[in-house]
Amino acid sequence: MVVDVADQSVHRVLLDSGAEVNVIYKSCQDHMDLEDKVLKRSSTPIVGFSGESVHAEEKITLPVTITDKQGVIITVPQEFYIIDALTKYNCILGRKFTVAITSIPSTHHQTLLFVGLEGRVERARGNEKMARSCNFVNRANTVPQKHENKGAIKSSRKRKKAL
């Protein structure tokens, strides 16, 4: 999904309704023009879904804007924790964001339903091709490649050919 953060277009944004906080990664923050924004010190440990703990050294409040195909826009200020980690995503928008814009994310449909400024339900769509590429790369980086698995795959292919 693509959203505007501090009036700058940010690609590869993950909507994670299970995340308690919003995260912007250091590599993304370095590419953004945030000179006039105030960074606050933070020593908050953030625990990831695999159980590892990362310390966010800074946090910042930035306006997040989401737009649908018809140009309906909603902007809300959000607090982001800045984390220095390797990931294919630039930003993670968590539960606080989805609650702030009264939205319902659907990962399966790559869609975010939200209440627009006029009170109507609006729809913002993600990029399915980009989501699949991020998912593929993350799986490739996290799943250890074992020599035994390659043999098991080859033997199952031989069995299929034999049938």
3-state DSSP assignment of residue 117: coil
What pLDDT is attached to residue 55? 79
Domain count, the chain: 1
**Would you state the pLDDT for residue 141?**
46
Going by their DSSP bridges, the two strands 40-47 and 53-67 should be labelled as: antiparallel
8 Å CB contact between 97 and 39? no
Q: According to the model, what pLDDT value does residue 64 have?
A: 93
68 phi/psi in degrees, rounded to 5: -100, -175
Which pLDDT value is given to residue 122?
Answer: 84
The whole-model pTM stands at 0.72
CB of 90 closer than 8 Å to CB of 31:
no
CA distance 44 to 81: 9
Report the pLDDT value the prediction gives residue 95, as an integer from 0 to 100: 92
Whichever domain contains 153, its CATH number is 2.40.70.10
Q: Domain of 148?
A: 3-162
Give every residue of the chain whose pLDDT is below 70, as ranges.
1, 36, 49-50, 72, 127-163
